[in-house]
């Protein structure tokens, strides 16, 4: 009896892939928004013994933040290889499961007052688990979004990854601001800060359900060609050589170039969208509520700009849009920060400046995912783009809070955040100029 014909695997529809690919990013960045918004609270609860230095505790909080980012490249490699070999769905399911579990556990961790020096170590361990899962999340999600996008819409579909990042940051910052308004300071420090972390459990359950329902198309077979040299020597088969441009040296070069192209996005994004609350409190003396409100406005401007930037990049190219964003940040970061510090600047003007700063970063985040996807062939796309993104975030995002807080503390210069954002965006310009203007029109390899 002949074997039954295999059932063809139905590839995910563009809409289903869009939802399933984006929802995990929301959960991930919701947590990062919460952690950034509650950095001063976490410093007090986990890194400050009785009578300890609050400023030093804040630096330690951002050190734990930075350490987690250096687990992202490892996560990008591990999950990327899984996604490129076994398919996008298994990697995405595992990534969102780890992120959800680690975030929930942060919400139930005992504080320093209960377990002493064990508290910061437990928090850092969970942050490392989050770093692993976050490193694998981006590559699989962006690969899925861009590979299933209709012709001429990779920028738009890839931008949904960044848009759900913005929604996650907005939700995290908004929830933190709401709790800070509704609860007394003592209640917020005692238990209120835990609520957003505990809410990650139902959010993650929804994301997991959507991803488990995602049909798996799997990576296509790798095209090969015979190895150069004498063919058929002694009748031995010749070792095949990949012809898809995924040779290790080529991939390494593409990863390094990718880091250069998105370093401004990484650094400026974290400076204005995540580090801002603690900077405003520690340096400018704003209240906790005011700092969270400022962060919410900046993230709102960021969110509004992302999808239009992705759509525009499908029309005029990734290079033009991302160059515009990088140059704008490089030229305006210092003046914007000066106006924010100026007591004579009207409140409405400060809100507009914050929204504009977020929108400039949106010009980078909208086309960024599609830009990275177009740099790597299918068989290594998840690994390659995930590694480029993870390395850029580890160096320029994860260290942003630590670098800025430490330098401001030791130099007393309140312009450090602006110098950091402007400098990295300026350095990204040459790498972006190496993009071909028509890359957005070429089919994925």
For 29-80, the DSSP string reads HHHHHHHHHTHHHHHHHHS--TT--HHHHHHHHHHHHHHHHTTHHHHHHHHH
Count of Cβ atoms closer than 10 Å to residue 308 Cβ: 16
Question: Any idea what DSSP says for residue 443?
Answer: P
**Architecture of the domain delimited by 14-217+246-439:** Up-down Bundle (1.20)
Mean pLDDT, all residues of the chain: 81
The answer to whether the beta carbons of residues 5 and 143 sit under 8 Å apart is no
The partner residues of 206 in beta bridges, in order of sequence, read none
The predicted model gives 134-142 an average pLDDT of 82
CB-side exposure of 285: number of CA atoms within 13 Å? 3
Helix (H, G, I), strand (E, B) or coil at 269: helix
* Percent above pLDDT 90 for the chain: 24
Distance between CA 175 and CA 193 in Å, rounded?
10
Give the lowest-confidence range in 66-70, 199-203, 409-413. 66-70
Phi-psi region of 436 (alpha: psi -120 to 50; beta: other; left: phi over 0): beta
pLDDT band at 217 (very low <50, low <70, confident <90, very high): very low
Question: pLDDT at residue 1 above 50?
Answer: no
For 334, phi then psi, to 5°, come to -65, -50
The partner residues of 224 in beta bridges, in order of sequence, read 242
Q: Give me Rg for the CA atoms of the chain.
A: 22
The predicted model gives 397-409 an average pLDDT of 77
Question: pLDDT at residue 2 above 50?
Answer: no
Helix (H, G, I), strand (E, B) or coil at 240: strand
Take residue 225 and report the two structure tokens written for it: 């060609």
The crossing angle, in degrees rounded to 10, of helices 118-147 and 39-46 is 150
Predicted confidence (pLDDT) per residue in 52-75, tens digit: 566 666 667 767 766 777 888 888
Phi-psi region of 4 (alpha: psi -120 to 50; beta: other; left: phi over 0): beta
Give the lowest-confidence range in 316-330, 357-371, 396-410. 396-410
The answer to whether the beta carbons of residues 421 and 298 sit under 8 Å apart is no
Question: Any idea what DSSP says for residue 397?
Answer: I
String of DSSP letters for 153-208: -HHHHHHHHHHHHHHHHHHHHHHHHHHHHHS-HHHIIIIITHHHHHTHHHHHHHHH
Question: pLDDT at residue 241 above 60?
Answer: no
Distance between CA 267 and CA 395 in Å, rounded?
9
Helix (H, G, I), strand (E, B) or coil at 287: coil
Terminal CA-CA length for the chain: 40
Take residue 215 and report the two structure tokens written for it: 């049909």
The predicted model gives 302-323 an average pLDDT of 94
317's CB contacts (< 8 A; 6+ apart) are 435, 437, 438, 439, 440
Query: Which helix (DSSP H) or strand (DSSP E) does residue 320 occupy?
Result: helix 318-341
- What is the β-pairing status of strands 240-242 and 224-226? antiparallel
pLDDT band at 426 (very low <50, low <70, confident <90, very high): very high
Residue 178: its pLDDT value, please?
A: 86
Residue 54: its pLDDT value, please?
A: 62
Query: Which helix (DSSP H) or strand (DSSP E) does residue 317 occupy?
Result: none
Residue 312: its pLDDT value, please?
A: 96
The partner residues of 226 in beta bridges, in order of sequence, read 240
The predicted model gives 197-212 an average pLDDT of 88
pLDDT band at 251 (very low <50, low <70, confident <90, very high): confident
Give the lowest-confidence range in 47-51, 336-340, 375-379, 387-391. 47-51
């Amino acid at each position: 009896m002949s074997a039954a014909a295999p059932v063809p695997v139905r590839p995910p529809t563009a809409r289903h892939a869009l939802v399933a690919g984006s929802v995990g990013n929301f959960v991930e960045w919701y947590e990062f928004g919460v952690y950034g918004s509650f950095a001063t609270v976490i410093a007090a609860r986990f890194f400050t013994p009785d009578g300890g230095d609050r400023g030093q505790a804040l630096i330690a909080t951002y050190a734990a933040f930075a350490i987690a980012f250096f687990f992202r490249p490892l996560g990008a490699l591990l999950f990327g290889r899984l996604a490129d070999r076994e398919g996008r769905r298994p990697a995405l399911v595992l990534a969102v499961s780890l992120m959800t579990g680690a975030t929930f556990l942060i919400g139930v961790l005992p504080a320093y007052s209960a377990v002493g020096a064990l508290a910061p170590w437990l928090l850092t361990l969970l942050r490392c688990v989050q770093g692993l899962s976050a490193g694998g999340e981006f590559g699989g999600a962006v690969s899925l979004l861009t590979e299933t996008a209709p012709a001429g819409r990779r920028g738009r579909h890839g931008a949904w990854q960044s848009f759900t990042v913005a929604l996650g940051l907005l939700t995290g910052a908004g929830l933190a601001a709401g709790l800070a308004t509704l609860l007394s300071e003592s209640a917020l420090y005692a238990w209120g800060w835990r609520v957003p972390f505990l809410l990650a459990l139902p959010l993650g359950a929804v994301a997991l359900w959507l991803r488990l329902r995602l049909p798996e198309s799997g990576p296509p077979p790798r095209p090969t060609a015979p190895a150069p040299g004498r063919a058929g020597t002694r009748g031995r088969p010749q070792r095949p050589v990949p012809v898809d441009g995924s040779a290790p040296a080529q991939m390494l070069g593409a990863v390094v170039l990718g880091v250069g192209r998105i370093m401004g996005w990484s650094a400026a994004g974290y400076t204005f969208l995540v580090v801002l609350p603690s900077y405003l409190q520690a340096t400018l003396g704003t209240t906790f509520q005011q700092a969270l409100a400022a962060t919410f406005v900046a993230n709102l401007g960021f969110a509004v700009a992302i999808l239009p930037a992705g759509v525009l990049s499908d029309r005029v190219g990734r290079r033009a849009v991302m160059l515009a964003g990088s140059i704008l940040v490089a030229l305006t970061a210092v003046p914007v920060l000066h106006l924010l510090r100026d007591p004579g600047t009207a409140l409405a003007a400060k809100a507009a400046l914050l929204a504009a700063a977020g929108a400039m970063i949106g010009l980078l985040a909208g086309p960024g995912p599609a830009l990275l996807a177009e740099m790597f062939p299918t068989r290594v796309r998840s690994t390659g783009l995930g590694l480029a993104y993870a390395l850029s975030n580890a160096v320029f995002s994860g260290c942003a809070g630590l670098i800025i807080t430490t330098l401001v503390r030791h130099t007393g210069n309140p312009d450090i955040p602006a110098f950091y954002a402007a400098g990295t965006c300026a350095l990204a310009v040459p790498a972006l100029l190496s993009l071909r203007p028509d890359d957005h029109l070429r089919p994925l390899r």
